[in-house]
Amino acid sequence: MTEHQQDTLYLVKPKRYKFWFNIFIFVFLVVGSLIFAKFSFIEVLQNFFQSTRLLKRMFFPPSWEYANNVIKPLLETIQMAIVGSFVGAFFAFPVSLLAASTFTNNKYVNIPTRLILNIFRTIPALVLASLFVAIFGIGNFAGVLALSIFSFGLVSKMLYETIESIDEGQVEAIKSVGGNKMEILRYAIIPQVLPQYLSYTLYAFEVNVRAAAVLGYVGAGGIGQVYERALAFRLFDRVGIIIIISFGAVLIIDTVSTAIRKRLVR
């Protein structure tokens, strides 16, 4: 055997059956889900022209004279989102410290706290709003409570994960000079997580603006109630102007909030 033959490398061609098996599983899940949901492309095509007629009634033209009636409930929706976001974020901070093992190194505290946070995160804001409307009656208060709890679960989950990923060198340095828990919190944890904490709060606000817009369906105040009434009476030109104004407001809020969050996490 020559030296050239000894140095020859042989590439093993990957087996294709794994690739086609994954494709089969993917197609099976998609088709199975479509069948289970009774989705029909034929019905979509059959109702296409009806959809275009509906869109024409909504947007060509919308009821511009109704715009003044939309501004006040839209502002209520934004106010609900602001209060709910910041109240939820306020209570999320101390609970995140209990869930984070870097601050509270006790599994009998960490694990139950994380379990509670997961429970809060699994309950949709609309379900919470329905519950609070039944307890406190129709109005913005039920919506604010629902958004506060929703924000609490969202922010606390992301925040305690951030706290666990901080540079522990600063924590150890403070411990080495006899620092207590409060000094660790003040000088090691807060400086590292504060930008992310504010960013998570703004993100919760973005999400809550969208969520608050539909809470009116269950009587929790905001622009959702105006939308529900217009849709119930089939006033589609009013529905169109509500959608346009809501879309514009959400777009502006998302743009400004995203720009602020980018500056915070730099």
* 241-244 own/partner pairs: CB under 8 Å, 24+ apart: 241/62, 241/63, 241/64, 241/66, 241/67, 241/70, 242/70, 243/58, 244/59, 244/62
78: exposed, middle or buried (Cβ count in 10 Å: 0-12, 13-18, 19+): buried
Q: What is the pLDDT of residue 105?
A: 82
Question: pLDDT digit string (tens) for 123-172?
Answer: 888 888 888 888 888 888 888 999 999 999 999 989 988 998 888 888 88
Has residue 11 got a pLDDT over 60?
no
pTM, rounded to two decimals: 0.78
Q: What is the mean pLDDT of residues 1-17?
A: 57
- Render the burial of 227-266: b for 16+ CB within 10 Å, e for the rest: bbebeeeebbbbbbbbbbbbeebbeebeeebeeebeebee
What number of residues does the chain have?
266
Question: pLDDT digit string (tens) for 58-104?
Answer: 888 888 888 888 888 889 889 999 999 999 999 999 999 999 888 88
Q: What is the pLDDT of residue 90?
A: 94
- Are 84 and 151 within 8 A, CB to CB? yes
Q: What is the pLDDT of residue 1?
A: 47
CB atoms under 10 Å from CB of 205, counted, come to: 22
Pick from 135, 152, 149: nearest CA to 218: 135
Has residue 13 got a pLDDT over 70?
no
64-264 folds as: MetI-like fold (1.10.3720)
- Are 159 and 145 within 8 A, CB to CB? no
CA distance 240 to 14: 55
Work out the mean pLDDT of the chain and round it to a whole number: 84
CA distance 13 to 10: 9
Q: Between 61 and 10, where is the model more confident? A: 61
> Could you give the C-alpha distances from 188 to 77, 87, 131, 183, 265, in angstroms and in order?
37, 24, 40, 8, 17
58: exposed, middle or buried (Cβ count in 10 Å: 0-12, 13-18, 19+): buried
Q: What is the pLDDT of residue 149?
A: 93
